[in-house]
């Protein structure tokens, strides 16, 4: 009885989370400024920091990483749905990366329109024909979702569904920042006197799962003298995160794991292959190479492409293999939305629920490469109602889960899909979809195959782009259903910028890690661990943290 009374007392002391609860936490401008100063100084004390834009190659000075002051409200059921399907997403893209015939089929039109994709496919074909020297690969994945609000009828409360925006398997970095953001948000709640239930503030350790998987890969390689290489860009703002990985690997291995940090350009100069296809950096054998470059979002020169090919031909364990990194485009995403594609990769009966769960996250995605009436109608609608769509790169689930036992897996995956339409066909349906997007650009988003949300077109810009591109250029794009996110109130912290309460919307990113054998297709390790919210102003189309239009954030569930 006393335990029940204590529990009831605790529950009574929990404050209610609403979409606009942040408005009750700050009393006036002086209070806000005081809270902001505390948060900025806490961030510097706890490595929630970036290099500065003024000194992008120097670590002597730093600035707070853009973040929210408090955690943002997020519905519990969609959050748990996204977490539950992540292991299936990890395996789906792992299986896609092992199906080179599928990748060739998926990009056959894209490579005609884009030099980078053609060069990448040529490189992968060469490596595939030569034979994969190192079958073990590790995938760091982040699946990004947006809440889609479904308005209630007859005064009923709205309902929420998650729809997938994109899947990233390449340049996954800064995960320690996501952990620190959640920690800061929780500290600021307490400082503001808000009593949250522990179950409403999910723990967040994405960096832990990634660091542990690097250690697992290093151990599997089998040479205790071989090193780990973390490959970062020349002007990376997340170097402090990379350094944290290095120090943690040293701690976890009792100093046995040695880490080197290089850029792709430095790798091209300092790395070599020996007669046994071992990758060497300045003569030292490389066991694991964690690339923080995207296979899709970064267009290298000849030297960099040669370095990528050398890495892929080597015995080093890649994080990830370029075959997997190349599988995360909008083109593949759009193809997966087609009937039977998810099932291709989950063919067993036992996977039915997994497939269903995946599909439930899909946004409306429509290919534009057919010439039938349906495609033409979709194009015309997107042209007429562009606010309802997003034009994106196109990206099949059943193909990779073809067994009857995979039915549930396919179902779970498909539940996350949004509407996606390819533009690479010249049939009537594609033409109709293009015309609809031009007439209604607010119903669509036009996306390219670049990873991490690059090169999206919205509204009138979308309509104008569709008018400009030629049929030969269309395979480079995908048309996506535009979602209606849930607006909330929060406060952003940007360096040297005053903060205030604003109306915002959030994207949910869910992290996963998989370690598997690309030849046997055996999965040795598969986990979901960690998440982030990326929050932007409601009026902003793009939401990039590095570009200054969005901030690191964390959820408080309701």
Q: Which residues pair with 344 in a beta bridge?
A: 399
Separation of alpha carbons 120 and 236, rounded Å: 23
Distance CA 178, CA 181 (A): 5
Beta strand pairing call for 523-537 and 501-517: antiparallel
Q: How far apart are CA 15 and CA 389, in angstroms?
A: 37
- Collapse the DSSP code of 42 into the 3-class scheme (helix H, G, I; strand E, B; otherwise coil) and give the result: helix
CA 486 to chain centre: 20
Asked whether residue 454 is marked as a ligand-binding residue, the answer is: yes
Q: Does 524 carry a binding-site annotation? A: no
Residue 61: partners with Cβ closer than 8 Å, 6 or more residues away: 51, 52, 54, 55
Nearest to 396 by CA among 327, 296, 326: 327
- Is 428 known to sit in a ligand binding site? no
Instruction: Name the region of 277 (left: φ>0; alpha: ψ -120 to 50; beta: rest).
Output: left
CA distance 393 to 308: 23
* 449 marked ligand binding residue: yes
**536 assigned to a ligand binding site:** yes
User: Could you please report the per-residue DSSP string of 539-550?
Assistant: T-S---TTTTSE
- Pairing of β 49-51 and β 501-517: unpaired
Query: Is 338 marked as binding a ligand?
Result: no
On whether 330 is known to bind a ligand per the annotation, the reply is yes
Residue 59 has a CB neighbour count (10 Å cut-off) of 12
| 30 annotated as ligand-binding | no
- Which string of DSSP letters, residue by residue, matches 376-443? HHHHHHHHH-TBTEEE------EETS-SBBTTTHHHHEEEEEEEEEE----SHHHHHHHHHHHH-BTS
Asked if residue 267 belongs to a known ligand binding site, the reply is no
CA 73 to chain centre: 20
Instruction: Report whether 542 belongs to an annotated binding site.
Output: yes
* Residues flagged as binding site for ATP: 330, 447-456, 507, 536, 542
Going by the annotation, the residues of the binding site are 330, 447-456, 507, 536, 542
Which residues belong to the annotated binding site for Mg(2+)? 451
């Amino acid at each position: 009885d006393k335990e029940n009374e204590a529990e009831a007392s605790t529950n009574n002391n929990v404050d209610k989370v609403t979409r606009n609860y942040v408005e009750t936490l700050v009393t006036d401008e002086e209070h806000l400024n005081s809270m902001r100063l505390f948060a900025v100084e806490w961030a510097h004390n706890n490595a929630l920091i970036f290099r500065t834009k003024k000194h992008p190659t120097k670590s002597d000075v730093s600035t707070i990483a853009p973040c929210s002051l408090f955690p943002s409200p997020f519905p519990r059921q969609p959050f748990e749905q996204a977490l539950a399907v992540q292991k299936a997403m990890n395996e789906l893209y792992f299986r896609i990366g092992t199906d080179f015939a599928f990748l060739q089929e998926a990009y056959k039109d894209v490579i005609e329109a884009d030099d980078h994709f053609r060069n990448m496919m040529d490189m992968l074909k060469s490596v595939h024909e030569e034979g994969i020297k190192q079958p073990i690969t590790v995938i760091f994945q982040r699946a990004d979702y947006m809440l889609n609000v479904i308005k209630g009828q007859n005064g009923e409360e709205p309902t929420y569904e998650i729809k997938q925006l994109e899947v990233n398997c390449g340049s996954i970095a800064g995960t320690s920042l996501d952990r620190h953001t959640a920690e800061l948000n929780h500290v600021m709640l307490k400082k503001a006197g808000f009593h949250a239930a522990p179950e409403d503030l999910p723990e967040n350790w994405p960096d832990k799962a990634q660091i542990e998987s690097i250690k697992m890969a290093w151990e599997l390689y089998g040479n205790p003298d071989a090193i780990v290489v973390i490959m970062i860009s020349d002007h990376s703002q997340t170097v402090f995160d990379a350094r944290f990985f290095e120090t943690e690997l040293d701690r976890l291995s009792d100093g046995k794991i040695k880490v080197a940090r290089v850029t792709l350009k430095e790798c091209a100069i300092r790395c070599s292959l020996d007669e046994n296809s071992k990758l060497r950096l300045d003569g030292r054998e490389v066991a694991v190479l964690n690339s923080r470059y995207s296979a899709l979002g970064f267009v290298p020169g000849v030297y960099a492409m040669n370095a990528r090919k050398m890495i892929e031909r080597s015995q080093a364990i890649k994080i990830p293999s370029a075959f997997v990194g190349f599988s995360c485009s909008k083109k593949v995403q759009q193809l997966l939305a087609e009937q039977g594609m998810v099932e291709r990769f989950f063919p067993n009966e036992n996977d039915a629920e997994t497939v269903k769960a995946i599909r439930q996250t899909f946004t409306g995605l429509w290919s534009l490469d057919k010439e039938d009436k349906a495609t033409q109608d979709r194009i015309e609608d997107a042209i007429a109602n562009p606010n309802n769509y997003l034009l994106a790169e196109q990206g099949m689930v059943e193909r990779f889960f073809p067994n009857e036992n995979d039915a549930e897996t396919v179902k779970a995956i498909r539940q996350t899909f949004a509407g996606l339409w390819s533009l690479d066909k010249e049939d009537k349906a594609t033409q109709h979809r293009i015309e609809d997007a031009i007439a209604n650009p607010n119903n669509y988003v036009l996306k390219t195959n670049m990873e991490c949300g690059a090169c999206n077109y919205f509204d009138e810009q979308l309509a104008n782009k569709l008018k400009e591109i030629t049929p030969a250029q269309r395979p480079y794009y995908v048309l996506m259903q535009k979602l209606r996110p849930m607006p909330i109130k929060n406060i952003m912290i940007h360096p040297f910028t005053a903060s205030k309460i604003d109306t915002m919307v959030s994207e949910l990113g869910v992290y996963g890690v998989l370690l598997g054998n690309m030849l046997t297709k055996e999965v040795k390790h598969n986990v979901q661990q960690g998440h982030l919210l990326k929050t932007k102003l409601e009026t902003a189309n793009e939401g990039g943290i590095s570009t200054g239009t969005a901030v690191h954030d964390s959820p408080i569930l309701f």
